[in-house]
Amino acid sequence: MTSRTHLIVNADDLGYDPAVSAGILQAMREGIVTSTTCMVNLPHSEEAAKAATGLAVGLHVNLARGRPLSTAIGPEQLDDEGHFDEAQARGLSAAQVTTETLAQLEELEGWLGRSVTHLDVHKHLHRHPSILAGVARAAASRGLPVRSLEAGMRAFLRARGVATNDAFLGEAGTEAYWTLARLREAFSHLPTSGVVELMCHPGHAPTTLQSGYGAQREVELETFLHPDARQALDRSRATPATFEVLKPRRV
């Protein structure tokens, strides 16, 4: 698609928790993070979205926690409190996912006062075929790119006219994934062309909820704010970008 490497550094989970959101916005304004994706169905989502003035914000489609925004999701597919359950979400139909994705999109764009840059999915639930199909349908109807994790997903999206990244880097486990050493190594081995998304989870440790990835966020925040991270990016010769690079150009 492109003769040079465009690198999107996307921080997931804006709106998850005020401290997490504050760290993400700091990493974007002071560090090398170029993009974020926001949840819309959690208590602190709206304030996070409205704090992201002037920044590249996509939708973090959330089918794993919080309440649905559409009536497409039946009570039998939610927990006793009417919240999404990650295991149950895997059984959602493509039509349900499309309707809920569009509802979440409208909510976020109303807060932002503008279009989102792209879509991705919390917990990578679009690894499941019906969820991928539903998200792809919503994205195609709005001309929005979608994060792909691997070649099969990439082919599925492109066959439906949905733009996506050419390569994907990133993970979140029991240990902080993006240490400075790992980031330097990744930057030294980037593809020589195409659009690469590097997913990350910087932030301050959550203050309003329990999370298995709390202290790890602070390690990642330090990494993406570190002067050496910018130097490593400069050495890579990749062009910092957002998912706007994948949207069709208006004539």
* Distance (Å, whole) CA 34 – CA 203: 14
Secondary structure of residue 198 in the 3-state scheme: strand
Neighbours of 43 (CB within 10 A): 12
Length of the chain equals: 251
pLDDT of residue 249: 61
pLDDT of residue 1: 44
Contacts within 8 Å (CB) and 24+ apart, 217-220: 217/20, 217/23, 217/176, 218/23, 219/176, 219/178, 219/179, 220/176, 220/177, 220/178
pLDDT of residue 213: 87
Report, in angstroms and rounded to the nearest whole number, the Rg of the chain calculated over CA atoms: 17
**Dihedrals φ, ψ of 25, to 5°?**
-65, -35
Token output for 152: 């099969």
First to last CA, the chain: 18
123-169 pLDDT, tens per residue? Answer: 999 999 999 999 999 999 999 999 999 999 999 999 999 999 999 99
* Distance (Å, whole) CA 176 – CA 155: 30
When mean pLDDT is compared across 179-183, 235-239, 242-246, 247-251, the lowest value belongs to 247-251
Q: At what angle do helices 227-236 and 180-188 cross, to 10 degrees?
A: 10
Q: At what angle do helices 129-142 and 151-159 cross, to 10 degrees?
A: 40
**Dihedrals φ, ψ of 10, to 5°?**
-105, 125
pTM of structure: 0.96
pLDDT of residue 212: 84
Structural domains in the chain, CATH included, are: 5-246 (3.20.20.370)
List 241's β-bridge partners, or say none: 8
Q: Counting Cβ atoms within 10 Å, is residue 16 exposed (0-12), middle (13-18) or buried (19+)?
A: buried
pLDDT over threshold 90, residue 104? yes
- The closest alpha carbon to 68, from 36, 91, 99, belongs to 99
pLDDT over threshold 90, residue 55? yes
pLDDT over threshold 60, residue 2? no
